[in-house]
Amino acid sequence: MPCVFCSIMSGDLSARWVARAPDAVAFLPFPTRALAPGHTLVVPREHSVGVHDATPAAFTAAG
């Protein structure tokens, strides 16, 4: 099963973009998945399975 974040970044799934940078992106999740109005996800472009799998570069890209 493909990663939902990578699917959004590749355009296979739609998103409402807040920002797109070379190393990270920010977007609003689908309205049914938003935890609150304006809930924004900031995701590094580098794929990782979870926080413990992410590289130091991924943390600085999204920070």
Contact set with Zn ion (CB under 5 A): 3, 5-6, 47
Of 13 and 19, which CB lies nearer to Zn ion in the complex structure? Answer: 13
**Residue 55 and residue 38: Cα distance in Å, rounded?**
28
In the complex, minimum distance from the CB of residue 37 to Zn ion, in angstroms, rounded to a whole number = 26
* Residue least distant from Zn ion (Cβ): 3
Of 31 and 53, which CB lies nearer to Zn ion in the complex structure? Answer: 53
Give counts: helices (H), strands (E), the chain. Answer: 2, 3
β pairing state of 41-44 and 24-28: antiparallel
In the complex, minimum distance from the CB of residue 28 to Zn ion, in angstroms, rounded to a whole number = 18
